[in-house]
């Protein structure tokens, strides 16, 4: 996720080329489109950097990691719904939402495997 920082800084021309190569037609080169693409990439990158920081001391941050795992599951389902409603190609929907759901479920499972009672109060 932290590698999304590259997309946040990608020249707009590269976004347009990628958009076309991914089979999504002509890139809508509008301020809101560019803003949303860059801000979404920044949010993904921030998310990744948070996980890298939390991974440095898993026992200490286990309740936060557990909560973020559940939030990733919810976010993954939301991204699938958004992708479907936006009529994105099936490969895009399948390549974004489900991996986030699986990642979240793996985190939740690993947190629970630790057997720590302090994660039991988190959903």
Q: For the chain, what is the total number of helices (H) and then of strands (E)?
A: 5, 0
Q: How far apart are CA 40 and CA 82, in angstroms?
A: 13
23: left (phi over 0), alpha (psi -120 to 50) or beta: left
Q: How far apart are CA 77 and CA 12, in angstroms?
A: 28
Q: Give percent above pLDDT 70 in the chain.
A: 93
Q: How far apart are CA 81 and CA 76, in angstroms?
A: 9
For residue 75, name the pLDDT band (cuts at 50, 70, 90): very high
Is the pLDDT at 115 greater than 90? The verdict is no
pLDDT digits (tens, 9 = 90+) for 20-70: 998 888 999 899 989 999 999 999 999 999 999 999 999 999 999 999 999
| pLDDT score for 70 | 97
| pLDDT score for 96 | 92
Q: Which of 110, 97, 40, 115 lies closest to 69 in space, CA to CA?
A: 110
Is the pLDDT at 117 greater than 70? The verdict is no
The pTM (predicted TM-score) of the whole model is: 0.80
* Domain extent for 78: 4-119
For residue 113, name the pLDDT band (cuts at 50, 70, 90): confident
Q: How far apart are CA 15 and CA 10, in angstroms?
A: 7
Q: How many domains, in total, are found in the chain? A: 1
Q: Which of 87, 5, 3, 26 lies closest to 15 in space, CA to CA?
A: 26
Average pLDDT score, the chain: 90
């Amino acid at each position: 996720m932290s590698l999304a920082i590259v997309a946040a800084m990608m020249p707009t021309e590269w976004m347009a080329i990628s958009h076309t190569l991914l089979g999504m037609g002509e890139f809508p080169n509008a301020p809101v489109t560019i803003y949303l693409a860059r801000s979404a990439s920044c949010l993904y990158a921030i998310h990744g950097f948070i996980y890298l920081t939390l991974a440095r001391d898993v026992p200490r941050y286990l309740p936060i990691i557990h909560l973020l795992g559940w939030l990733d599951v919810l976010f993954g389902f939301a991204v699938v719904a958004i992708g479907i409603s936006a009529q994105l190609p099936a490969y895009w929907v399948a390549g974004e939402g489900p991996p986030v759901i699986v990642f979240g479920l793996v985190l939740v499972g690993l947190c629970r495997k630790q057997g720590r009672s302090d994660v039991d109060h988190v959903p």
